[in-house]
Amino acid sequence: MLGWAITFLLIALVAAVFGFGGIASASAGIAQIIFVVFIILFVVGAILHIIRGRRPPM
């Protein structure tokens, strides 16, 4: 998911360099949304990992 956010960020940067304002703003918006979702999922996963701890081997 972080890879998608970086991809859309690069698309936004390239579009901004060439002057395509609409595409650049849309890609930047998508990149921001995906990045926030990635951060939320990362934090939830880290908290769940801490709560569960390590399970003993069977």
User: Distance between CA atoms of 8 and 45, rounded to whole angstroms?
Assistant: 24
- Cβ atoms 2, 32 nearer than 8 A: no
- Cβ atoms 11, 23 nearer than 8 A: yes
pLDDT in tens, 37-47: 988 988 998 89
Task: Spell out, as residue ranges, where the chain has pLDDT lower than 70.
Answer: 1, 55-58
* pLDDT of amino acid 56: 63
| Residues in CB range of 15: below 8 A, 6 or more apart | 21, 23, 24, 27
Vertex 13 angle, CA 7 and 17, to 5°: 145
